Amino acid sequence: MILDIENLRVSINAKGTRTPVLRGAHLQLEQGKILGLVGESGGGKTMVCKAILGVLPESARIESGAIRFEGRDLLAMPARERRGLLGRSIAMILQNPMTALNPVFRIEDQMTDVLRLHAGLDRAQARARALEMLTAVHIREPERVLRHYPHELSGGMCQRVVISIAFSCSPRLIIADEPTTALDVTVQHQILRLIRELQRKTGTSVLFITHDLGVVAKICDSVSVIYAGRILESGPVERIFSSQHHPYTQALLDAAPRYDRPDTALHPVSPELREQLAREAEEFDRRVDREVAHA
Amino acid sequence: MSPAFLLRRLLLAVPTLFGVAVVVFVLLRIVPGDPIAMMVPGEATPEDIARLRESYGLDKSIPMQFVIYLDHLVRGDFGVSISLKQDVLTLVLGRLPATLELALVAITLSVTCGFTLALASTYWRGTWIESGVDAINSIALAIPEFLWAMLLILAFAVLMPLFPISGRIDPMRATAFATQFYLVESLVRGQFGLARELLGHLALPALALALPLIAVIARVLKSSLQEVMVQDYILLARIKGFSNLRILTREALPNALLPTITLTGVHFIFLVGGTVLVELIFAYPGIGNMLFGAASNRDLPLIQGVTLVFALLFILLNIAIELSYALVNPRLRH
Ligand SMILES: Nc1ncnc2c1ncn2[C@@H]1O[C@H](COP(=O)(O)OP(=O)(O)O)[C@@H](O)[C@H]1O
Ligand SMILES: [Mg+2]
């Protein structure tokens, strides 16, 4: 188990009131596997990523829980040591590639800085490694791309660069937060295939976040379904797609485009189901509050 | 930045300078006051006055005077000062280096202090350091440079006599210089004792000029930094494992520069304009001080000369500011 999140509760302070955004999340990612975290927008997926990386917004507070990376609880680790893992052992692919790269620096600088910091390479070695990585993400003319600024590249190209940065220091865990959501449909497929390919080649474990169960079916080994900060269901991909499951998962399945059968109608999640889930979430909060009050 | 752009901007300066020349010329002919009456002794006869008037070309019609003025101007002849009886260009160029050194020290001070305050208050956000910087900014902004000049004199020259009140350097020592750029020259020659004395004289006037600009830079840079710090690429930098200091200075700062230059650029021009009053208060021998003397003597050619030089300074400063946009923003480089 490379990543084991247990009962993670995070709240956000918005205008004086604390709102729970993660209500006891559980996640388990096995070494060398891809775990899909799926749910609608606003469900708390990005919060999970930021909690793992320790980059939650200032208004957020971790109420309880544990985030174990290779058996060690990140939340109990000294800040310095925890930061030492970033870039080197844990890397991330952001949702919007067009804003993920620093607009005032050339691609070369943004690829080599992390290599020089973590892999101890000198300028020439880091450049060679950057070229190697750009080739690995199937960028033609990598020499030319190194000289470019981000605004001179397309979204797909930027995402390839971001992916190559994430993989460049051979991290053991990569978190990909909706890495294809901001891209054109044709590019989405290429990027998905690329992540799968690199993951197979390097054996890196990946936490893959998406709102699209169709994507999960394509590249994940197992999946967890999140709604309103709670994990409703977890399991191997085959089981989620074949057997009995939570009504929300079913609703998500109905709402996902079927790439194999493009003519089937899409069914959005029904308002009744949303209401039921909201009630459950509230009840959950109350129960937790009671438990906290008793403890 | 293409040379063509630079050339175009420099060519555009010509009509601007022409406009300034016209406005100043006309204004000086409209405002009351007679330069000749102010220079002649009481016993002068009307004939004496008429003769003097003629020798300065003041007997001709105003349009004719202007044509002659322009004609001389394009040949590099700025005329002769009525009160000082010397070539205006020589006078102005002799004093300009002192003003340039003052403005340069003030600008360096503003940028250094402004940046330090903005970076410190962003780095230590939410602590007493941030509130302290905000308080300093509000005070520095609320007081104009000439008032600062008086307050600084009171505090650091009178109550605590740490700095000289006036002048540029002990006149006995001024003979040691080959150029008028005393500070630059003493630094180049490695005469650090002299440089220290010059800086001692510059400290209070430069600080008075710098304080409002320090506050403007600190405030604008701080708010641009805060906007930049929540961007995705800063998040990516944190995820790369960079230290907070490195993220602030190497990832965020270059992005915060552009809005800062855009929003503070005009204040650099205010600073140069502010040298006139500050030089006067500190009896600092620059062109601002000379302008004041020229104005009280109705020395028309000298006023016109100094004004044109100020206009040229403003134009060059504007071009420098625009050049710096391109320097900090790769999108503008093509
Ligand atoms: N900086 C923030 N301040 C206040 N609320 C936030 C902030 N970021 C996210 N949230 C809230 O937290 C919840 C989870 O957000 P997020 O993790 O971004 O969802 P997802 O990534 O699944 O779309 C949402 O309800 C969102 O409104
Ligand atoms: Mg998200």
ipTM given for this complex: 0.86
Q: Is the CB of A11 under 6 A from ligand 1?
A: no
CATH number of the domain at A24, please.
Answer: 3.40.50.300
Question: Which 183-242 residues of chain B touch chain A by CB within 8 A?
Answer: 231-233, 235-242
Q: Give the domain range for residue A231.
A: 3-89+171-294
Report the atom number in ligand 1 closest to the C-alpha of A14.
4
Give CATH superfamily name and number for B96-287. Answer: MetI-like (1.10.3720.10)
For residue A1, the CA-to-ligand 2 centroid distance in Å is: 24
Share of chain B above pLDDT 70, in %: 99
State the nearest Cα–Cα gap between A126 and chain B, in angstroms.
15
pLDDT for the residue numbered B333: 65
Look at residue A163 and tell me if it is in a domain: no
Confirm if A76 and A47 have CB atoms less than 8 A apart.
Answer: no
Q: Is the CB of A21 under 6 A from ligand 1?
A: yes
Look at residues B210, B204, B183 and name the one whose alpha carbon lies nearest to residue B106.
B210
Look at residue A284 and tell me if it is in a domain: yes
pLDDT for the residue numbered A238: 82
- Residue A94 has its nearest CB partner, among B236, B329, B330, at B236
Q: Does A202 touch chain B (CB under 8 A)?
A: no
CB contact under 8 A, B236 and A91: no
Element at A10 (helix H, strand E): strand A3-14
Look at residue A204 and tell me if it is in a domain: yes
Identify the three-state secondary structure at position B226.
Answer: helix
Q: What's the pTM value of the predicted model, to 2 decimals?
A: 0.86
Tokens of A118: 């973590």
CB contact under 8 A, B232 and A117: no
Look at residue A151 and tell me if it is in a domain: no
Backbone angles phi, psi at B271, to 5 degrees: -60, -45
**Which residues from chain A sit within 8 angstroms of residue B232, using beta carbons?**
94, 96, 99-100
pLDDT digits (tens, 9 = 90+) for A28-64: 999 999 999 998 888 899 999 999 999 999 899 999 9
Which stretches of A203-246 are DSSP H helices?
A: 213-219, 237-242
CB contact under 8 A, A101 and B236: yes
pLDDT digits (tens, 9 = 90+) for B135-172: 999 999 899 889 999 999 999 989 998 999 889 998 88
Task: Return d(Cα A131, Cα A139) in angstroms, integer.
Answer: 9
State the nearest Cα–Cα gap between A269 and chain B, in angstroms.
30
Splitting chain A (295 residues) into consecutive groups of 10 residues, what average pLDDT does each group show? 94 88 93 93 92 93 94 93 93 93 95 93 95 93 95 93 94 94 86 92 95 86 91 85 71 65 63 77 74 67
Tokens of B70: 């322009």
pLDDT for the residue numbered B297: 86
Question: Which 47-86 residues of chain A touch chain B by CB within 8 A?
Answer: 53, 55, 58, 83-86
pLDDT digits (tens, 9 = 90+) for B229-263: 999 999 999 999 999 999 999 999 999 998 898 88
* Residue B306 binned pLDDT confidence (cut-offs 50, 70, 90): very high
CB contact under 8 A, B240 and A113: yes
Number of domains comprising chain A: 1
Q: What average pLDDT does range B91-102 have in this prediction? A: 94
Q: Which of B122, B239, B324 to mutate to test the interface with A (most CBs of A within 10 A)?
A: B239
